[in-house]
Amino acid sequence: MADHGAKTAGTRTGKPKGDKFAATKPLQLPAVVPDAPAAALHEGRPAHPHQNLDRSVMAAMAQVTGGVSPHAVADAWTDWWLHMARAPGRQLELIEKAQQNTLRLMQHGVAALTGKADEAPFSPKANDTRWSHPDWAKPPFSQWQQGFLAVQDWWDHATDDLRGLRHKSAERTGFMMRQMLDTVAPSNFPALNPEIIEKTVETHGRNLAEGAAHLAADMVQTLTQAKRPIPEDYALGRHLACTPGKVVFRNDIMELIQYSPQTDQVHPEPVLIVPAWIMKYYILDLSPENSLIRHLVAQGFTVFCISWCNPTADQADLSLEDYRKRGVMAALEAINAIVPGRKVHANGYCLGGTMLAIAAASMARDGDDRLASVTLMAAQVDFVEAGELLLFLDESQVAFLEDMMWEQGYLDRPQMARTFAAIRAEDLIYTRAVRRYFLGIEDLPSDITVWNGDTTRMPARMHSEYLRGIFLENRISAGRFAVEGRVIALKDITAPMFVVATESDHIAPWRSVYKTQLFTDNDLTFVLTKGGHNGGILSEPGHKGRHYRISHRQAGARYMGPESWLKGHAPQPGSWWQEWTCWLARTSGATVAPPPMGAQDKGYPALCDAPGTYIHQG
């Protein structure tokens, strides 16, 4: 039996450490069917040594642009401008729109000056909290706010779909224009923001001095790329990720944690949790009161969870297949040894859910029936409607990111953080900046903000394969994704499924998650819960204001579209966690005595206490 406790480093082959411009092996994609176009484009073609000069130039440019391809930006604006230039009717429409917005703005201004009550003609978007201070409703601040919102409204209309214009170009130009407008919002300027003025008068300017100190500290942190230390009150293993357990398996990709039982009897089928490798697993084991893992254990389940490593440049050549085989499948083998003769309830979150769906489909294809059920939380199997993360994902952008990762061996934490922050820039960037730099308010840590700052890297080869094969080419639902040389099909999965989507998810939009029902034929329960990508999943019982919708589709039933489904299923108050644990219990056998912690005689000894060692990798 191999030493399961040993950690081995991967070998970086994407770029040699010697001559920077030496010939390199191109990144390989997962196997696809022979007629797939990507196979001809990206596999088997020898790279000319001079191409590495191009890659180095692109990598340097990517550091300047934050990983955004200039071609993708220019292409969107060119497409929009050329179609707008040949559309005089649309131009007249926009002129009329500008006149209407100006007139509404003037009427509102006159009403404000004369003291007459007047409803604001323009309203902020649902998630825009920059205008929450009551003085934004009073002149002159109301005029500045309404002027900004009027311009924003006009540009939303100008970058709307236009006949002949690629839909992606319309979305891209709209997104970029929102980003540009956000930089000049009146809420960003101390002299125009009533909240900043009020705070400055109240504190005699101390808020600006404290904000300047915060700005200086953040600039140093950005320049040095130093990771912020986790506050002592949120120490890992004591306050967060503190559910008791043992690491029972370790390789170079992951540690497998088995959690200690908290009940005298447990359901016989263990639960395996597969988190996303873009995050550290303890989003599912935060504080004791909102830990999904602790809740499962308390409900009498034997829980195992994968804790992924934080890859370095030496692991740049880790592939999607490595994560499937030496991650998910290796975890299943360990669980089968520790809890022999029992099927496994598998749960995948975000990208971990996508990987679990791939693993489940390949197991079903091969007649491997070790899964008792499959749960997917905020996870997609089809990426046609994958939200704003797809806005700039095209061949140029993927190649640009590949060159950046080729240079450094991985996609780094700040590069991913900027991408996610840009999706909700008005809240995650500008509102925070105003509070921190002009109001002098220190960021108060919480369990989820501590986790959010504890980001991980992504190995170059795996991320390239993911972007190309899954995001860009959508191979899973298109029937073009192969494992070990043979195509997989989601409809082969016969184990019952429990699929969870969240209402305001910007990363995995609920309608995209819902499409799991379009590509499967098995017994499936679908839940749509209140909240976003993380907050909706962390919906512990007793959480105020939570609700969810739930439905059950029998195996072989006809497909219902998302809009019809939404109309036909009313929200129910409470937490979806209770629905899920009851569902797991119904698909499990009669309770038994808890299994041992690990199986030393089978090569799976208890290596250390949870949360293990990989969670501390910086």
Nearest to 527 by CA among 599, 579, 605, 582: 579
* Contact criterion met (CB below 8 Å) for 559 and 518: yes
306 three-class SS: strand
Is 529 in contact with 573 (CB distance < 8 Å)?
A: no
Count of residues for the chain? Answer: 618
What is each CA distance from 519 to 9, 12, 490, 491, 558, in whole angstroms? 37, 36, 6, 6, 11
User: Among candidates 413, 415, 436, 417, which has minimal Cα distance to 425?
Assistant: 417
Classify 274 as helix, strand or coil.
Answer: strand
Given the DSSP bridges, would you call strands 608-609 and 245-250 parallel, antiparallel or unpaired? antiparallel
Strand 524-529 relative to strand 497-502: parallel, antiparallel, unpaired?
Answer: parallel
User: Is the separation of the CB atoms in 300 and 591 below 8 Å?
Assistant: yes
Rounded distance between C-alpha atoms, residue 118 and residue 98, angstroms: 21
Pairing of strands 410-411, 608-609: unpaired
Question: Active-site residue numbers?
Answer: 350
Q: Are the C-beta atoms of 174 and 155 separated by less than 8 Å?
A: yes
Question: At 427, which amino acid appears?
Answer: D
Burial of 533 (0-12, 13-18, 19+ CB in 10 A): buried
CB 571 within 8 A of CB 548: yes
Closest CA to 477 of 469, 229, 377: 469
Contact 551, 533 (CB under 8 A): no
DSSP-derived 3-state class of residue 317: coil
Residue 162, token pair as written in the block: 């236009």
Sheet containing 572-573, strands listed edge to edge, beginning at the edge strand earlier in sequence: 572-573, 547-553, 524-529, 497-502, 371-377, 344-349, 271-274, 303-308, 254-259, 245-250, 608-609
CA distance 318 to 516: 27
